[in-house]
Structure formats: C-alpha cells, structure tokens
Structure 1
Amino acid sequence: MIPSNILGVLTPAEGSRKIPDEEKCLACQLMGSALCLAGGIYFMSEIPFQGSNASTKKNPLWWKNSVKSAGLGLFGYGIYRGGEGWLWNKDIKYKDTLF
C-alpha cells in the first residue's frame, strides 16, 4: 500500500514553529498587502463576470454578491496588513533587508 500524507495536512508537522518577530520582513509585508489590495479591487469590480461568464444562469446574484464580499474582505485585509507596524502593532521588529 502506498503511504499517504493527507494526515500531515491536517496536523502540524513536528518541525513547524511560530515565526519570531526578528524574521519578519517589511518587503514581504508590503508585497502581501499590495496583492490583497489588487485582488480585492479585482473581485469587487465587474471584470470576473464579463465575457463568456456574463450569463445570469452561470452567475446568479447571490454568487456575484459573495465574490464581491470576498473582494471587500481581501481589500480590508490588505489595508490592515499594510498598516501593521506603523499604524498599529508598533512593537514589531523587522529583519534587516536591502530596502
């Protein structure tokens, strides 16, 4: 029988650890924030429902509202993530980077 690693997905590995503050990176935080902001703007727009996906049978109103709500959540998380360290949680120490 072939061994499976499905249980490894559900339970944390023994080698996993919490990332200490000394290893947090400002450039990584800004890139994550920018990605969440861009993804949120994309999902809140009508772009995902244009073209071949324009039919109301494929995309009922409840689905469109769900996607737009998820976009709003992503946008909000991007704002939170971008302001972390200088607007709130000011005690975070970042590791030295080239930036």
Structure 2
Amino acid sequence: MMRGMNMQGMMKQMQKLQKNMQKDQEELQKTVFEGHAPDDAVVVKFTGDHKMQDIEIKEEAVDPDDVDMLQDLVIAAVNDAIKKIEQETQRTMGKYSRNIPGL
C-alpha cells in the first residue's frame, strides 16, 4: 500500500514539474533578446524561440563601398542575440535536468 502512495505522490510531483516547465518555456519564448554589434552599429531583436522581430542599422554603418563591414556587423549582432537566448534558456530550463541522471 505504501508503494502505491509513493508512486501516486511521485506522479503528482512529475505533473507539477511538467506544468512549471511548460510555463517557463512559454515565458522564455515570449521574452525579447537584443543582440548588439560593436558600437551598437546594428541592433537586432529576437524572441526566445529564435524569431527575429526587428533590426536597427545606424546610418553610419551603411557604406556602399564596404558592404562586407555591414554584413559582419549584422552577423555579430545576430550571434550576440542567439548567445543571450541560449544562456537564458540554460539558466531557465537547465534546472529541470540538473538532477536527472544521464542528462
């Protein structure tokens, strides 16, 4: 009889954990992350589910004779935003896998 009670309690605990995990995932996906190139020449905004929402390019970053520089700035800003998303995802969602053996 005690085993049934422990199993039932464990199932309730897992359901609560799953509900909390889903809530945290939804919040993370709604969060807006900004990525910045050096000197903020390019700033991008992504949601936590990696969808770009906006890009701002300073006028002085646009040089028709140096398109490569603008491309590099966009790449730097996007990579910065993705890094921030990954860090926050690990911080937020990592707590669910910390105590699970093998993960």
Superposition TM-score tier, normalisation by shorter sequence: 0.3 to 0.5
Higher strand share: 2
**What TM-score results when the alignment is normalised by the length of structure 1?**
0.39
**What TM-score results when the alignment is normalised by the length of structure 2?**
0.38
Task: Answer with 1 or 2: which has the greater Rg.
Answer: 2
Higher helix share: 2
Higher relative contact order (CA 8 A, sep 6+): 1
